[in-house]
Amino acid sequence: MKKLTNHTTRRKFVKRISQGTGAGLFLPASMGVLNSACSSQSSSESATESTEAPPKKDRLGLALVGLGNYSNGQLAPALEQTEKCYLAGIVTGTPAKAEEWKQKYNIPDRNIYNYDNYDELIDNDDIDIVYVVLPNAMHAEYTIRAAKAGKHVITEKPMAISVNECQQMIDACNENSVKLAVGYRLHYEPFNQEIMRLAEEQVFGSLTSIENAFGFTIGDPTQWRLNYELAGGGALMDVGIYTLQAACYTSGEEPVSVVAEEFKTDMEKFSEVDETVNFTLTFPSGLKANCQTSYNKSYNKLRADAENGWFELSPAYTYGPLAGETSNGPMDFPQIREQAVHMDRFAECIMQDETIKTTGEMGIRDMKIIEAIYQSIEQGNKEVAIAL
């Protein structure tokens, strides 16, 4: 296995960070029209109409943007279990998928969009929430366009492919008074919630170390996940993000520095993105989390050691069934569809004007950590401070 310290992928990444540009982020010409349409509508409304609150809905309408594997295999089935929101619309570039989903989920024609007429969502009161489930480099553009159309947004992880993009997404949502969440489903999953509780309540005393790893062997060499422009990075962006998330929610702290190394065995397949990355995060208390992620090795485990015991999940991060154990014995929690809980919680936050746990601020924090990891690799595995 070859250890990499100065790879072209990292150079591209660091260049993008220093330029403060996000790949694929643009604002369509129609945005100006949308904004003016918005303001002219409110100014022409009569005083009585503009003070009338819209009728309260029992369930919010959600539109999935991108009907790939995650939408098809996880989110659409989860939306059959949700109580506060439902699958009201779809956005797809493939007419055959539009027809199939229309039949399967009984979606009216007026709620079916493509990537060109997406901004017309602004006129559709059936859709309250847009869920962006596109390749990573498209999250920023489709989140910003949704915000400008007045829709609340859930964007998949990673939130985007640079800190700069994440900031633009947060700003767009704030400017348009809509809420933003990142698809960090494990915050709503009972085994991972138990890990957070055990650590926070110091059930086994203070933590002494965290070890975690998430990786899988990636297939099709032509897929977007191996394309730098669409993915923004490799295993680290895709599944390594779970390990740094877990390091934060297990420690209850945010890291102050990182040391990282990148390894490659297949230079052709992984010519554009990282294959295997190992990194160590240091937290303010001095606690360290050793994290591993790979597109060429399967692992799926989270373990915390403490002064008086230990606790772990294995598997920790996949859709389930998950399993957990502590030094006192096995954990026993229900297997749930965490995506349904997450989407319902987001709908509830919109209805009650509350803040969801998995905010855009959490997404941008994680992108800052990812950028620091790539910088450490670029700088020959030096320790890099993380400014959050």
Residues lying near ligand NAD in the complex (CB under 6 A): 66-71, 93, 133-136, 156-157, 183, 185, 224, 230, 238
Q: Which is nearer to ligand NAD, 9 or 92 (CB)?
A: 92
Report in angstroms how near the CB of residue 211 gets to ligand NAD at its nearest: 22
Amino acid letter for position 137: A
Q: Which residue has the tokens 């996880």?
A: 74
Which tokens in the block code for residue 182?
């990142």
The residues, any chain, with a CB within 8 Å of residue 206's CB and separated by 6 or more, are 285, 306, 307
Please say which residue, 151 or 157, places its beta carbon nearer to ligand NAD: 157
Shortest distance in whole angstroms from residue 205 CB to ligand NAD: 32
Amino acid at 387: A
Minimum gap (Å) between residue 242 Cβ and ligand NAD: 8
CA distances from 341 to 26, 138, 184, 185, 362 (A): 32, 25, 11, 8, 18
With respect to ligand NAD, which residue has the nearer C-beta, 89 or 135?
135
235's tokens = 């295993």
Closest approach of Cβ 129 to ligand NAD, in Å? 16
Minimum distance between the CB of residue 337 and ligand NAD, rounded to whole angstroms? 11
Q: Would you say 78 and 89 are in contact if contact means Cβ atoms under 8 Å apart?
A: no
Nearer to ligand NAD, 77 or 309 (CB): 77
CB count within 10 Å of CB 206 equals 11
Q: Which is nearer to ligand NAD, 23 or 384 (CB)?
A: 23
Closest chain position to ligand NAD (CB): 68
Query: Minimal distance in Å, beta carbon 101 to ligand NAD?
Result: 11
Nearest of 28, 181, 38, 36 to residue 118 by alpha carbon: 28
Nearest residue (CB) to ligand NAD, 287 versus 363: 363
The two most distant CA atoms of the chain are separated, in Å, by 70
DSSP string, 106-118: T--GGGEE-TTTG
